[in-house]
Amino acid sequence: MIYTPDGFVSAALMASGRPGFSGDGLIDGTSQQYTEAGRGFIGYSGVYDVDEAQSFVTHRPLVAFAPNMVNSPQKRFVELKGDVLALTVEQVAPAGPPVAKSRL
């Protein structure tokens, strides 16, 4: 996760333990391997703004691994302790509650 002072953000998050493709190249994976790789990765970059009063940051991706994230505001709750930044997102399942919390 990279934030620049002039308002840009870049995020590349990967699950640990992702298996490699069966070949050596970027296009040497099977359909199943690409599906599993995609489930374990999220990446985007764009602009952000901060609401200090309510302790959240909103990311607005301009490019993203998941096409539906482009131009879709991504609200993250912020907790800063010393030099450690924790971001939390609450996600509602497509059918409604329950809410899942992810923390970075």
Q: What's the pLDDT tens digit per position in 14-56?
A: 989 888 888 888 888 899 998 888 888 999 999 999 999 999 9
Domain that holds residue 28: 2-75
Q: Evaluate whether residue 87 is within a structural domain.
A: no
Count other Cβ atoms within 10 Å, centred on residue 21: 15
Give the least confident one: 8-12, 35-39, 94-98. 94-98
Backbone angles phi, psi at 33, to 5 degrees: -65, -40
Q: Evaluate whether residue 100 is within a structural domain.
A: no
Give the tokens for residue 11.
């995020």
How many domains does the chain contain in total?
1
Q: Evaluate whether residue 45 is within a structural domain.
A: yes
Q: Evaluate whether residue 99 is within a structural domain.
A: no
Q: Evaluate whether residue 6 is within a structural domain.
A: yes
Q: Evaluate whether residue 81 is within a structural domain.
A: no
| Strand ranges across the sheet with 96-103 | 2-3, 8-14, 41-51, 56-64, 74-81, 84-93, 96-103
Q: Residue 7: its pLDDT value, please?
A: 97
Q: Evaluate whether residue 97 is within a structural domain.
A: no
Q: Residue 52: its pLDDT value, please?
A: 93
